[in-house]
Chains A and B, each alone.
Chain A
Amino acid sequence: MALSRRFPVLVLAGVFAVLAAPSAATAWAWVGLCVVVAGVDMLLSADPRGVSFARGPGSQVRLGEAASTTLYVTNGSRRHLRGVVRDAWLPSAGSSGERHTVDVPVGERRALTTGLRPVRRGDRPADHVTLRAFGPLGVAARQRSVPVPGVVRALPPFHSRKHLPSRLAVLRQIDGRSAVRIRGAGTEFDSLRDYVDGDDVRSIDWRATARRRAPVVRTWQPERDRRVVLVLDTSRLSAGRVLDMPRLDASMDAALLLAALASRAGDRVDLVAGDRRVRARVSGVDRTRLLAELVTAMAPLEPTLVEADWTRLAAGVAQVTRRRALVVLLTTVEPVVVEETLLPTLAALTRHHRVVIASVADPTVAAMAATRSSTREVYDAAAAERSQASKDRVVEALGRLGVTVVDAPPEQLPPALADHYLMLKSRGLL
């Protein structure tokens, strides 16, 4: 049961009746008439129970980009359907134009498209679909809400992909350089190409140059088919917000850039994400589908407010690969956590693998340490320095274990991690 705005207008129209016969009885009789009209109009509307809904396939979209969803309305009732349909979504699904005016003859079907622009990462489900079917006069309506399942998956935005072209260029340079460094062993002949300024003259292939009458160099491809295992920490540390973004999102960004780079470099990339248990795992995926698989696996991950169980995550790494690999732990260097839970695990992990920790640093700590104008700020600065010092001590301890820590603010972490990878690659340390 619902009324439209025509109902109060209809009631107000009773003024003419009152002008003709000015008495209270006229007024109340008119109101009664209006109620009867509304009741009859409602009874003459299409029965919402006879109307069925179906939804088109769910969509995936990068966070911040627009998608849409299609809802099919089939009029299975015995009357012409005129009314309003609201396709309700969670607020964070960012739906726009979710109210549709529908006019469906008996037995026909219409498609309604609602725009979506998710504002939070992950699966954003639809809520109920509500139909308000008006009668022929459009005064009163019957209303019904039904759940019509649907979901839009907001993938990690991968903002750092802007850094990819420059890193790929570096990767191509490494090709030549690594050939120079460790000529012969461990490098594979790739192709011949024209000499350009800057190429090492030692890589000129003289036989080909003689044939072509122009200098030609051999290019070498670096070692391929190394393994990179990304370990994404979704524990309480990843919930902390740095510059109003959860650390987890910054870690994902870094992981995606590294994965994109490593897969182009011919390495195999696997992902293990979890806290007390493994929540997502991607392994053995073809490199063309790798990024899509990774973002899909990452999309529904949310930080949980529990401590990470590094022993279990290390076991997850062991399941993914038994060969030596580059294990990248995307977490935060938090002195207490590292000393109590991470160090014992790392000791075991470093025996088989090269381990790098990519830690999301908070630039406000440095700002806090530098601001010292009032007494209060001096105390805060001392606290910041203390945090920084204990972190430095832990990084040092990790370094003695052979673990490198890449510690950078959210914006700089992805390129810093990528650069570290390229450095390892160029030195053949993978």
Chain B
Amino acid sequence: MSVIPETTEVVRTPGDGPAEPATDAGQEAPAGGPGRRRRRRRLVAVLVGTLALAALGFVLVAALLTSTTTDALDPDSAGPTGSRALARVLADHGVSVDIARGVDALADAGVDADTTVVVTATRFLDPLLMPDIDDAISSAARVVVTTDDPVALDLFGLDWPVVGYPASADPVAVDCGTTDVRAGERLGVMDRGFLVSASPTVLPCFVSDGVAAYVVTERSGEPTLAVFADPPAWTNERILDGDTGALALRAMGHTSRVVWYVPTLDDLQGSGARVIRAALPRWFTPSLWLAAAALAGLALVRGRRLGRLVREPLPVVVRAIETTRARGALYRRSRDTRRAGAILRSATLARLRRRLGLPSHAPADVVAERLAAVTGRSQDAVAAVLTGPLPADEAALGALARDLTALEDLLSSPPRTEGPS
């Protein structure tokens, strides 16, 4: 992943072409220079990108966390949508209020026959968690739920339709068979209610046109279930409307202890794993721990060396050719075409003198004359190579080098027949 466009490769021209200075400069620069700079720039880009991504992720997670706070109807929340007033008043009346945040806390709360479980934030109940919740609250004396959500009702095993509450008048209570409600009490404005008909175990209250605002269900062997249809009414803001507060206190105050279950984000996230764990055989997790322990043991086995690593001082590697190569690089960097040409020419002259049987101090034009005579080449052409001006640029140097080699080849392999002419 790189934001920076690839730098274009330096074009390599063959040595004989007219070498452009810029091209050759790129070629000549030590391999480390531009490559290292490019690598460093790429590294910076990657670093900046990573940091930006991390910051973005942090902001997103923070936004998600704050947007899904579940403080509506929270017994600890003093805001307009919280329910702290209710919890405080309950406590003032001698009821101990324990707040259970999360399924695990609810299971550990020690719910018994002298306990009422209150569930207000039904919006965050997870269907996958219901078996656990049911387990935890099965021994309670009473369960108080406030919801207007048919899904939540369904979770508690109730299939009443949720309908709009008749808007005729404030709901007024008549005696409906439960001590929670006293005749003549009024509620604030209701939005919704449950369409439910009375029976010996189902006691609808605040009924208007068959729509009830509060229903108490007696169930054999299970806690009594009290459901209130208007969750916003139990918030700090509206608890004083009519006799709402009195109803709520009475609904929750049957026992000396209240466990107020508040679903948390962890519940929602952990619900899948909880279900999978429940589906696995019981020996699976312990076996997994054993396997982990065995793996750790294997790491110990493999980690202990049988004696130390043996170190050996190694000799320095010096290539004998290095000085010669360095000299070549020096010529190249200084573009000393004249010197290079002169050296090549004198080397060729020395070899030609030996082969032509000339003394080692014979001048170049004598060698040229002799060579032309031996090979039958024109003396001017040979003399141009051996005594002409020294090359002024790299193209001329390349040409001179080839010409010199050709002259030597001429002498060393005369019998070779030339190609078709």
Number of interface residues of A (CB under 8 A): 76
Q: Is A192 an interface residue (CB 8 A)?
A: no
Contact of B291 among A7, A12, A246 (CB under 8 A): A12
Q: Is A91 an interface residue (CB 8 A)?
A: yes
Which of B283, B316, B322, B346 gathers the greatest number of chain A CB atoms within 10 Å? B283
| Chain A 326-375 interface residues, beta-carbon cutoff 8 Å to B | 332, 360, 362, 364-365, 368-370, 372-375
In the complex, which residues of chain B have a beta carbon less than 8 angstroms from the beta carbon of A130?
306-308
Q: Is A143 an interface residue (CB 8 A)?
A: yes
Q: Is A99 an interface residue (CB 8 A)?
A: yes
Q: Is the CB of A247 within 8 A of B320?
A: yes
Instruction: Given A11-B290, A18-B290, A383-B327, check contact A91 B310 (CB 8 Å).
Output: yes
Closest B residue to A6 by CB, please name it. B301
For the complex, what is the distance from the CA of A72 to the CA of B312, rounded to whole Å? 25
What's the nearest-Cβ distance from chain B to residue A335, in Å? 11
Contact of A18 among B14, B287, B332, B339 (CB under 8 A): B287
For the complex, what is the distance from the CA of A8 to the CA of B282, rounded to whole Å? 22
Q: Is the CB of A89 within 8 A of B340?
A: no
What's the nearest-Cβ distance from chain B to residue A387, in Å? 5
Q: Is A302 an interface residue (CB 8 A)?
A: yes
Q: Is B160 an interface residue (CB 8 A)?
A: no
In the complex, which residues of chain A have a beta carbon less than 8 angstroms from the beta carbon of B401?
372, 378, 381
Q: Is the CB of B328 within 8 A of A240?
A: no
Q: Is the CB of B317 within 8 A of A241?
A: yes
Q: Is A41 an interface residue (CB 8 A)?
A: no
Q: Is the CB of A375 within 8 A of B293?
A: no
Interface bits A116-152 vs B (CB < 8 Å: 1, else 0): 0000100000011110100000000001010000000
Q: Is the CB of A15 within 8 A of B287?
A: yes
For the complex, what is the distance from the CA of A5 to the CA of B282, rounded to whole Å? 28
What's the nearest-Cβ distance from chain B to residue A175, in Å? 35
| Chain A 73-97 interface residues, beta-carbon cutoff 8 Å to B | 84, 86, 88-92
Q: Is B47 an interface residue (CB 8 A)?
A: no
Q: Is B285 an interface residue (CB 8 A)?
A: yes
Contact of B286 among A27, A332, A376 (CB under 8 A): A27
For the complex, what is the distance from the CA of A375 to the CA of B282, rounded to whole Å? 78
Q: Is the CB of A380 within 8 A of B325?
A: yes
For the complex, what is the distance from the CA of A382 to the CA of B401, rounded to whole Å? 9
Q: Is the CB of A378 within 8 A of B15?
A: yes
Q: Is B398 an interface residue (CB 8 A)?
A: yes
Q: Is B297 an interface residue (CB 8 A)?
A: yes
What's the nearest-Cβ distance from chain A to residue B403, in Å? 10
For the complex, what is the distance from the CA of A247 to the CA of B319, rounded to whole Å? 10
Q: Is the CB of B307 within 8 A of A362?
A: no
Instruction: Given A12-B294, A364-B321, check contact A22 B306 (CB 8 Å).
Output: no
Q: Is the CB of B308 within 8 A of A2?
A: no
Q: Is the CB of B315 within 8 A of A246?
A: yes
For the complex, what is the distance from the CA of A381 to the CA of B332, rounded to whole Å? 11
Q: Is B397 an interface residue (CB 8 A)?
A: yes
Q: Is the CB of B304 within 8 A of A24?
A: no
Q: Is the CB of B290 within 8 A of A382?
A: no
Which of A372, A381, A382 gathers the greatest number of chain B CB atoms within 10 Å? A382
Which of A27, A30, A34 gathers the greatest number of chain B CB atoms within 10 Å? A27
Q: Is B318 an interface residue (CB 8 A)?
A: yes
Q: Is the CB of A385 within 8 A of B319?
A: no
Q: Is the CB of A375 within 8 A of B19?
A: yes
Q: Is the CB of A382 within 8 A of B331?
A: yes
Q: Is B95 an interface residue (CB 8 A)?
A: no
Q: Is the CB of B318 within 8 A of A241?
A: yes
Q: Is A39 an interface residue (CB 8 A)?
A: no
In the complex, which residues of chain B have a beta carbon less than 8 angstroms from the beta carbon of A377?
15
| Chain B 1-23 interface residues, beta-carbon cutoff 8 Å to A | 14-16, 19
In the complex, which residues of chain B have a beta carbon less than 8 angstroms from the beta carbon of A11?
290, 293-294, 297
Closest B residue to A124 by CB, please name it. B312
Q: Is A52 an interface residue (CB 8 A)?
A: no
For the complex, what is the distance from the CA of A385 to the CA of B324, rounded to whole Å? 9
Q: Is the CB of B325 within 8 A of A383?
A: yes
In the complex, which residues of chain B have a beta carbon less than 8 angstroms from the beta carbon of A380?
324-325, 328
Q: Is A389 an interface residue (CB 8 A)?
A: yes
What's the nearest-Cβ distance from chain A to residue B361, in Å? 12
Q: Is the CB of A375 within 8 A of B343?
A: no
In the complex, which residues of chain A have a beta carbon less than 8 angstroms from the beta carbon of B289?
24, 27-28
Q: Is the CB of A8 within 8 A of B304?
A: no
Q: Is the CB of B328 within 8 A of A24?
A: no
For the complex, what is the distance from the CA of A236 to the CA of B322, rounded to whole Å? 13
What's the nearest-Cβ distance from chain A to residue B28, in Å? 9
Q: Is the CB of B290 within 8 A of A384?
A: no
Q: Is the CB of A18 within 8 A of B297?
A: no
For the complex, what is the distance from the CA of A272 to the CA of B285, rounded to whole Å? 76
Closest A residue to B348 by CB, please name it. A385
Instruction: Given A18-B290, A380-B328, A387-B327, check contact A86 B301 (CB 8 Å).
Output: no
26 of the cross-chain contacts (CB-CB < 8 Å) are A3-B301, A8-B294, A8-B298, A23-B282, A34-B297, A86-B307, A90-B312, A127-B307, A127-B310, A128-B308, A240-B320, A241-B318, A241-B319, A372-B401, A372-B405, A374-B14, A375-B397, A376-B15, A378-B397, A380-B324, A382-B344, A383-B327, A384-B324, A386-B343, A389-B343, A389-B346
Q: A-side interface residues toward B, CB under 8 Å?
A: 1-5, 7-9, 11-12, 14-15, 18-19, 22-24, 26-28, 30-31, 34, 84, 86, 88-92, 99, 120, 127-130, 132, 143, 145, 236, 239-242, 246-247, 302-303, 305, 332, 360, 362, 364-365, 368-370, 372-389, 392
A241-B317, A370-B405, A383-B324 known; 12 new pairs, CB 8 Å cut-off, are: A3-B300, A11-B294, A27-B289, A120-B315, A130-B307, A132-B306, A241-B319, A241-B320, A242-B321, A364-B321, A368-B328, A377-B15
Closest 8 CB pairs of A and B: A130-B307, A374-B15, A240-B320, A375-B15, A383-B328, A382-B340, A380-B328, A22-B283
